[in-house]
Structure formats: structure tokens, C-alpha cells
Amino acid sequence: MYGFITGPLFWLSITIFVIGMAMRFIMYFKGLHWQLDRVAYRAFPLKGLKGAWRSIYRWLLPFGTQSWRKQPFMAIIFFGFHIGAVLVPLFLLAHNVFLKEKIGFSLVTLNPSVADILTWAVVVSAVFLALRRVALPEVRILTTSYDYFILLLSVAPFVTGLLARYEAGNYSFWLVLHILCGEALLILAPFTKLSHIVLFFASRAQLGMDYGIKRGGMKNKGMAW
């Protein structure tokens, strides 16, 4: 069982994730209206790239936008979740030992105490994100069981990872479940809302290009759109 999930199933999940996410990213831009969007971007590429970069990095900064500053609690739990969700899978020591064994190289690693804190931040933030969907009427009315499934799918590798880390009961059971949860996330991500892992950058880039070119950026400068 362990050999299968860390061998063929691991490579299958990585392949599906990489190819699926690349296709979602490409199809996003191919789906833009060729006259309203792509023509304008091609006519003013430098203005567009500047706007795209500005949009992406401001939304990646805690309180970097007016929207984040208006919702400070949401900003804290959002970044608490996403910072840990990115850093722990990539830079956890155990993950990099596994990478070294599988592909021959590894990344820099997090201090174990820092990794623990970030993992707990993901779990606690996920609880608050779920409570937010219950407590706020404007969010609750838009929430379906699918949204809770996505949240559970996202946090399951971290919960099972903590249970394995602290050896809560059967270590081998939690380790296998942790790996399976991580691989399920990789396989399903391109086909679910988790595709925002790459589509966040695509959509923020598009909006930034819009504002940099069409929505005031080139105002009174002879732009035809």
C-alpha cells in the first residue's frame, strides 16, 4: 500500500496536477474576448504588464489593498490559511526528504517549530473560514455543500499531517491517510475551485491589465477601446 501511494499514485497525482493547472491557465487566457481583451493587451503590452504586476503583488500583500483593509479579520484568516498552505507543503523537512529520494533534489526547509505553527495556522484559519460561512448571512446564502467539501479537501492533509506528527494513535495509519489526502487534493485541484491556485494569478493579471489599459490607464491618450 505505502509503496503504491508513494510511487505510481504519487507520480500520477503530480502529472494530473501540473498538466491540469497548465491547461486551466492557458484556457483562461484563450477564453478572453479577442476584440475587447486580447487586442487591447497586445496593442499596449508594457502598460498591460505593469498593471498586471501591480494587481498581483498588491493582492499578495496583507492589507495591501483597500478591500483587505476594510476586512481586517478576513485578511488575517485568509493569509493565515494561504501562507501555511503554500509554505508547509513545499518546505517541510519530511516532504523534502521524500523529494530527495524520489527526484534527487530538495528545497530549503522550514524550522520544525515554524512548520508546526504554520500548519496550526492553516487548521485554525480553516475553522474560522467555515464559521464565517455560517455566521454571515451574505456569505451563508452563497454557500453550498460543495464549498464545505473544498474547504475540507484543502485542510485534510494538514489535519492528518498533524495527527501523524504527534503520533495520535496509529502513526502508519495517519501517515498513509495524510499522503492519500494530499494526492486527492492534487488530483482534484484542476477540476474544482482549487484551480484558483493558478487562476488567481490569471484573473488578477487580467484585471490589472484592464485597469492599466482600458479602465482609465490610457484615458485621453488616443486609445480606441
User: Angle at which helices 8-30 and 196-213 pack, to 10 degrees?
Assistant: 20
Nearest of 92, 216, 218 to residue 158 by alpha carbon: 92
Is 219 domain-assigned? no
Tens-digit pLDDT profile for residues 89-147: 999 998 999 888 888 888 889 999 999 999 999 999 999 999 999 998 998 999 999 99
For 197-215, what is the mean pLDDT? 88
Residue 173 lies in a domain: yes
Give residue 213's pLDDT.
82
Categorize the per-residue pLDDT at 225 as very low, low, confident or very high, splitting at 50, 70 and 90.
Answer: low
Tell me the pLDDT of the chain averaged across its residues.
89
Instruction: Kindly state whether residue 223 falls inside one of the protein's structural domains.
Output: no
Residue 216's pLDDT is 64
**Is the CB of residue 80 less than 8 Å from the CB of residue 124?**
yes
- What are the residues whose beta carbons fall under 8 Å from the beta carbon of 26, sequence distance 6 or more? none
Q: Which pLDDT score is estimated for 39?
A: 74
Q: Looking at the domain assignment, is residue 220 inside a domain?
A: no
- Domain with 29 in it: 2-213
Q: For the ranges 11-20, 31-40, 61-70, 194-203, which has the lowest average pLDDT? A: 31-40
Does residue 222 sit within a domain?
A: no
The CATH number that applies at residue 176 is: 1.20.950
**What pLDDT score was predicted for residue 223?**
60
Give the total residue count for the chain.
225
pLDDT above 70 covers a percentage of the chain that reads: 96
Residue 27 lies in a domain: yes
Name the domain count of the chain: 1
Residues 6+ apart with CB under 8 A from 148: 130, 133
Is the pLDDT reported for residue 42 higher than 70? yes
